[in-house]
Every structure is written in C-alpha cells, then in structure tokens.
Structure 1
Amino acid sequence: MREGLLAGAAVFAAAPALAAPDFAGRYAQPAKFYSETAVISRLPDGDYSVTIDLDFRGCRGRVEARGRVEGNSLIATAQKDGKESCRLEIKQEPPGIHVFEENCARNRDAGCEFSSFLRKRP
C-alpha cells in the first residue's frame, strides 16, 4: 500500500505545471463611433506593460499600467502622483481579452470606460 502511495506521489510531482497564460499582443475593438486599443508587452522581469487607448465620440482615455499574472488574470496598476490610480484585471477569452477596470476615472473622461472585450490582432 505504501509503495502505491509513493508511486502516485512521484507521478503527481513529475507532472508538468500548468503554464501561466501569455497576454502579450495587440488588441482592438474598432467600431464606427468607438475605438479602443490595447498593447500588452512582456517585460524582461516577467511583468507586463499594458497601454490602453480609448476614443468614444470625443470621450477619450489612456492608461499605462504595469502588472503580472495572478492565476488566470493579468492584474495591472497605473500610478499617478506616486499612488495607485487605476487597476485593470484582464482575462483571456478567445479570441481576445476582457478588460475590467477599477478606480480609473482619473485616466479617462467621465462618459466612457476601459472595461470591454477586445479582439487579438495580428
């Protein structure tokens, strides 16, 4: 019985760990009166740089944030005046990403938001 438990533990320990999702790429959701683009780049230290630009009938916004993968999400924060001003949670949902914003009003006009679904672009 003990040998079976040890063999099972050895197989489990040897199984490859699930790789963290790679968010790097260009994403967009252009429409007639709405445009939002995101550029996500992997940095040498393993963190990600996230830039999102948005234009909705004159309502504009831009956020430049830095973050890392936590579980299945990329969590990125922007700094303004030395304080965290915007938090983005980005989840992969093929064929793109879903962006959720928190506390980002200082990075955009009042009539629009960064939360949206963006498709991956070549």
Structure 2
Amino acid sequence: MTAHAVDLPLRAGMSMASLRLDLAAALSDLGEDHLYDVQLVVTELVANVLDHTSSTGHLRVLRGQEPGAVMVEVDDESVVRPVYGRSRLGETRGRGIVVVDDLSREWGCRPCGASGKTVFALVECAGT
C-alpha cells in the first residue's frame, strides 16, 4: 500500500524552511540521517522547478511503494529534462541533480501530461 506523506502544490515564493518542517512532521519515524537525505532531495528537486520552469508544479512524497525507501516525485510544466552537473544559472549552480544522484538509489524523469514531466528520486531509508 502506498501512502502520501506529503502532497502539495509548488509555487513561487514558497518557504523551503516550512517545507522541510512539514517533511519532518510527515516523516517523523525516519532516523535523523534519512530524514535529512529526503529533505535535501526534496529541496533540490523543488528548487529546480522554482528556478527552471514556470515556478508551478506539484510535490509528492510517497511511503510504502518499496519497503525501506521514500519516493519523491515533482511534477512541472516543462518538457526540458534535468541536466546532470550544469546550470544555465551560472558556474556556482548546477549541482542539485548531482546531489540527488548521490543521495538516491535511483532517479529519473518521465513525461507527465501533454507538456510536462515528473522528476523522481527513490531515497533508501532502510533501518529506520
């Protein structure tokens, strides 16, 4: 059985600090290290939506799809896929997907609707 731990719309100006607090409350059974990994993956994927698209989208954090793991899914209205290690925002940017790759068992991108995509990451949280 899959359960939504977090399911909310994304919009410009939203507070990442509040989002991290919401994640901590929804995932209170995770150990501190695993919670931090999930929060960092969510922050990076949400920031990509806010920085590189129309700044609207949708976040889902799912439990139970795979034992010992948390699935993060972020929908947006752009067909442009994330680029590993490069950013159009400058040399000091572009490491978000590298971080997601490092913290996730797997990540990827699939079409969503007629003109959008879902970027997902599966974060290993076994032993929590």
TM-score by length of 2: 0.29
Bigger helix fraction? 2
**Relative contact order (alpha carbons < 8 A, sep ≥ 6): 1 or 2 greater?**
2
Output the TM-score relative to the length of structure 1.
0.30
Task: Indicate the structure with greater strand content.
Answer: 1
